[in-house]
């Protein structure tokens, strides 16, 4: 389970994962931030993305969720004085949100999901506002990340990305609308929008889920 891995390395995460500001800005600019009021940062980790989200959406309410309590604890300490952040330790693949978000961001998280298509479909169809957007983003190439995970630790060795065209086809087969997608030696991203769907296929709720609502 990747949760054990991330809890184990949480204290070193900020050292081993220095954010590349230029690339993060490039990736976040794939979203249109003019309407952002509520942002869901999935797999927030130690909160590396939070200052960037605040940059684009200074007054937004941010829901920061992570399956690893060790990661969230560090983020909470780092941003203890920040207002309008709601911290949740939970598995995004099991938690059902009744609240709606203008932006949902999965930065450096997607390979670690076990039910990728179902989870993204659920988030787009149930957790985005009508003109909301969801961004899957990485500041490294697919090849780099797949190699890193494969050789890093057995708990993440199968966590991988597939070619972006194939991933987009899978999403489109589920009725999800792609706003923009690209991959290179430097990045990998897919932006999805509810308003871009050709035909909506609403995925059923995952079994044994718990419920939570934005307060």
Ligand X SMILES: C[S@@+](CC[C@H](N)C(=O)[O-])C[C@H]1O[C@@H](n2cnc3c(N)ncnc32)[C@H](O)[C@@H]1O
Nearer of residues 65 and 190 to ligand X, judged by Cβ? 65
Q: C-beta of 21: minimal distance to ligand X in Å?
A: 13
- 28, 40, 65, 191: which one contacts ligand X (CB under 6 A)? 65
Question: Please, what sign has the CA dihedral across residues 209, 93, 104, 205?
Answer: negative
Q: Does 85 bind ligand X (CB under 6 A)?
A: no
Q: Is residue 175 a contact partner of residue 199, using CB atoms and an 8 Å limit?
A: yes
- Asked if residue 212 lies in contact with residue 95, where contact means CB atoms within 8 angstroms, the answer is yes
How many other C-beta atoms are found inside a 10 Å radius of the C-beta of residue 22?
A: 10
Regarding 93 and contact with ligand X (CB under 6 A), the answer is: yes
**Alpha carbons 214 and 99: distance in angstroms, whole number:** 5
**17 part of the interface to ligand X, by CB under 6 A:** yes
The tokens for 68 are 């690893």
CA-to-CA distance for 165 and 68, rounded, in angstroms? 31
- Nearer to ligand X by Cβ, of 141 and 177: the residue is 141
**Does residue 49 interact with ligand X by CB under 6 A?**
yes
Binder of ligand X out of 112, 116, 142, 194 (CB under 6 A):
112
Q: Which residues bind ligand X (CB under 6 A)?
A: 2-3, 6, 17, 43-45, 48-49, 65-68, 71, 91-93, 107-109, 112-113
């Amino acid at each position: 389970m990747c949760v054990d891995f991330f809890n184990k390395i949480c204290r070193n995460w900020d050292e081993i994962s220095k954010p590349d500001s230029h690339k993060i800005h490039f990736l976040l600019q794939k979203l249109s931030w003019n309407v952002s009021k509520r942002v869901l940062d999935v797999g927030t980790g130690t909160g590396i993305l939070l200052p960037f989200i605040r940059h684009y959406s200074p007054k937004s309410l941010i829901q920061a969720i992570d399956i690893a309590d060790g990661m969230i604890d560090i983020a909470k300490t780092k941003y203890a004085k920040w207002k309008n952040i709601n911290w949740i330790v939970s598995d995004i693949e099991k938690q059902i949100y009744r609240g709606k978000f203008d932006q949902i961001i999965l930065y450096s998280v997607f390979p670690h999901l076990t039910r990728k298509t179902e989870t993204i479909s659920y988030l787009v169809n149930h957790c985005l506002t009508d003109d909301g957007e969801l961004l899957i983003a990485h500041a490294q190439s697919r090849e780099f990340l797949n190699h890193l995970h494969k050789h890093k630790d057995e708990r993440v060795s199968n966590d991988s990305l597939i070619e972006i065209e194939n991933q987009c086809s899978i999403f489109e087969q589920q009725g999800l609308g792609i706003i923009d997608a690209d991959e290179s030696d430097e990045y990998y991203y897919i932006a999805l929008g509810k308003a871009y769907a050709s035909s909506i296929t609403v995925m059923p709720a995952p079994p044994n889920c718990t419920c939570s609502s934005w307060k």
